[in-house]
Amino acid sequence: MVAAAYKSTLILKGINKGQTIYMPMSSSDVDAAFCTFPDGTTSLTIPSDDDYAIVDLIVITGGTDTTTIDIFKNGLNASIQIVPKANLNTSNNRQFQANPIGIKGGNKVMFKQKN
């Protein structure tokens, strides 16, 4: 199949202060490629002012070649998989709404696409 790049929005919420961060993310839909952020990098440094949780991921359409995304924290696979098609903007029950993923302030996170 032909890769179908897509966009999504990662939503993080501060655990103590409650600040919400909306971070656009682009996925190339290519196996083993990392998702990119608006500044062109493949990693997102979590602000050090608080610990945060991924509380939602809103995906527009999803890809055709990749089926999951692995989350990496500080370069290590966190053994957490995102299923983009389960997080479509049309879905009422997306993956992180019921099960947020905590991330320590100052950590770097990356998202690697997989077939």
Mean pLDDT by 10 residues, the chain (115 residues): 93 97 98 97 98 97 94 97 94 91 97 96
pTM: 0.94
CB 111 within 8 A of CB 72: yes
**The pLDDT of residue 13:** 98
Residue 14 CA to its chain's centroid (Å): 16
What is the side-by-side strand order in the sheet with 43-45? 43-45, 108-114, 68-73, 76-82
**The pLDDT of residue 87:** 95
